[in-house]
A and B are shown apart, each in its own frame.
Chain A
Amino acid sequence: MSLFSNHTTVDIDNPSSSLPTAQSRWQRNISSYPNHKPRHTKIPPWLINTASLIVMALLVLLSLSIGVADFSWSGIFHSLINHSANSDSSLMLVSRLPRTIAIILTGIAMAVAGMIIQVVLKNRFVEPSMVGATQSAALGLLVVSLFFPASALIIKMGVATIAAVFGMMLFMLLIHRIPPTDFLMIPLIGIVFGGIIDAITTFIAYQTETLQMLSVWQFGDFSSVLAGRYELLWFTGVLCIIAYIIADKLTIIGLGDNIALNLGISKRHVTWIGVGMVAMMSAVVVVTVGMIPFIGLIVPNIVSRIMGDKLRRSLPAVALLGASAVLLCDIIGRSIRYPFEIPVATVFGVVGTVIFLWLLLRAPAES
């Protein structure tokens, strides 16, 4: 081993070159919350929020009018005037509207969950699927479906939530010793950790011949959303409101342990509330539509680059942008090979990875 251990790091050849300063500068920009000055203070938040609200409204209209079944807005208009149901309005109420609402709620939930976990772990490069939350939720869901197939949806969701909390606890134990300066190590470990949980889940599913059931949860997809099959997602809306209420406390946790102590915030309590909320949001999304990777990573990163990390100010923008992003990707997935449909998780897998790679690779250029 002796020969190799000399070369475990690549930078051994130039130990004291420009690297340290470059890295710390990059870190100051990205992962340090104290004294964080947003770079574009000129645009007021209300303007950004109004603009993204308009974008979202346009996307909603587009999302409502795209689909395989024949549909016309004038039909809706007629049924509204006559107070009578026709095929257009029932299509709207049973399929199109539930689907669009589900997409909006999922986007909001995943983006806000990503923002919370990034603040709690003080790391810009994590999201619920990179701390083992979504994978653990799927594992818990699989186990409860195997042992108690007839149990109510709310019980399945509860078990998935508990599993997600356990998965995140295990992850936090794993990264306990990682120095906070090594901020890219945490997502790396998270990806491998998620892969290990995935492998265990696949193992169980293979043995019990439930791989097909599992693949429904592993690929986020809105094609099966109809009225009566998505309402659980409203719960994530409630969680987002709670997140907004405790936003200031979460922000203070993100500022660092000493500051939290000085300001009289119990770091432990708020951290656990944050972890629990992320677990619940991930579990609800996995139970109803399946995993959608990278939203929780991309959206908070973009928003905090523009607006900074004060959650009370940035959470509405995160929620709006998250909803718009998923709406856009779902519209792309539905129209790229019309009349067939591509799962939103696949579309986001491509779009999200490209943006994430850009975030990762463009970092050195800043310094």
Chain B
Amino acid sequence: MHSHSASTTADIDIPQLSSSTKPSRLWSVIAQHPKFIATIILLISAILFLTVNVHGHWDFALPLRGKKLLALMVVGYAIGVSTLLFQTLTHNPILTPSLLGFDSLYVLLQSLLVFFLGAISFTSLNLIAKFSLEIVLMFGASLLLFKLLFSKSSQDLTRLILVGVIFGVLFRSLSALIARLINPDDFVVVQSASYAQFNTVNPQLLGISLFICVVSALFIWRWRFKCDVLMLGKAQAINLGINYQRLAFGLLTVIAVLVATATALVGPVTFFGLLVCALTNRMARNMYHSERLILVSLVAMICLVLGQTVFEQVLGMAGLLSVVIELAGGLVFLALIFMSQRR
């Protein structure tokens, strides 16, 4: 503790504090360096995830858990970053792509593909070809949805969210309807795509997703300053020389791709992005994207890795993480609504 505090006094402007106020000082250190703290917590939870309850056979357990860890981190990155960018694009801190039905759209596309191609040709499609086809469809469809949602009812936030939520219900009902129309073997294929699963991750998809994450990260990092400007509002951003159409199009592409990636890996989760973005906005020192993009990825990864460790190894109920995340996220959503009401 001592060496830690000594190393950090250099860059904080806080006078020497007495030992009685140690908690607040510790808090200020944390508050000054959320990224580093988050990295440390993530490292600890990753190590815990890899090592807790391994009885012998490390060479078997480590690769298996390593793959799962990687998948959780990819999903955390994809959901966290896509939600943050979506909030920037829509100028709204209580929106997430999932809330407007974007990931149930992915599940619907999945069901439609099975419906038209049949399960056998669906599963025998080249994985890369299939995934790129899905992403192209996903992008086109979410562009349409985005257009519809933001041209008709953009003046009225509540109506926008309500319409989005109902679209989500519609997509889910349509998927369920298609699932009933196809034969039982195909049904299993669709069923496995429509529930959030943190336990079984398709290892082949992991490589593609990792690649997508790296490429998207490069683009997003190049746009981080433009995103900062975009947060001032559409009119201001255009005034300040941002090519709004191009940036919005690019952001929407990245969001659609990331949502598709996350949904392909674990299935739809409605409120997770909202949860981690709310946490990030609480923790971040400023609203710059260079800070928050990193932080939101870290926070999302921590939530998933630590949550999975606790649920799987400590409590022994692996399947419940997604339910708990939905519960917590739903409560955060209500809290955000009531906070904005009081304003």
Contact = CB atoms under 8 A, between A and B. Distances in A.
B330 A354 contact: no
A202 interface: yes
Interface string B173-196: 110110011000000000000000
A10 B173 CA distance: 29
A5 B156 contact: no
Interface centre among B93, B327, B343 (most CB of A within 10 A): B327
Given A184-B159, A185-B158, A337-B180, A10 B152 contact: no
Nearest to A362: B152
B317 to A, nearest CB: 7
B125 interface: no
A187 B162 contact: yes
Interface in B309-339: 317, 319-320, 323-324, 326-327, 330-331, 333-334, 337-338
Contacts of B172: 349
A366 interface: no
A206 B317 CA distance: 9
A364 B327 CA distance: 34
B334 A193 contact: yes
Interface residues of A, number: 56
A300 B281 CA distance: 42
A196 B327 contact: yes
Given A19-B155, A361-B163, A364-B153, A4 B181 contact: no
A340 B180 contact: yes
Given A23-B156, A174-B334, A346-B173, A195 B323 contact: no
A11 interface: yes
Contact of B165 (A178, A191, A336, A354): A191
B235 interface: yes
B320 A357 contact: no
Nearest to B327: A199
Nearest to A201: B323
Q: What bracket does the count of chain B residues touching chain A fall in?
A: 35 or more
B121 interface: no
A262 interface: no
A195 B167 contact: no
Interface in A149-190: 174, 177-178, 182, 184-185, 187-189
Contacts of A349: 169-170, 172-173, 176-177
Given A4-B287, A189-B334, A206-B323, A360 B166 contact: yes
A35 interface: no
A326 B280 CA distance: 46
A8 interface: yes
B330 A8 contact: no
B90 interface: yes
Interface of A: 1-14, 17, 19, 23, 125, 174, 177-178, 182, 184-185, 187-189, 191-193, 195-196, 199-200, 202-203, 206-207, 293, 336-337, 340, 342-343, 346-347, 349-350, 353-354, 356-357, 360-361, 363-364
Kindly list the 6 A-B residue pairs having the minimum CB-CB distance in the complex, ordered from nearest.
Answer: A349-B173, A353-B170, A7-B91, A184-B158, A3-B287, A199-B327
29 contacts: A1-B281, A4-B231, A4-B287, A7-B92, A9-B92, A10-B90, A11-B156, A13-B233, A13-B235, A17-B155, A177-B341, A178-B341, A182-B158, A184-B156, A184-B162, A187-B162, A199-B323, A199-B326, A199-B327, A203-B320, A336-B181, A337-B181, A342-B180, A347-B177, A349-B170, A350-B177, A353-B173, A357-B163, A357-B166
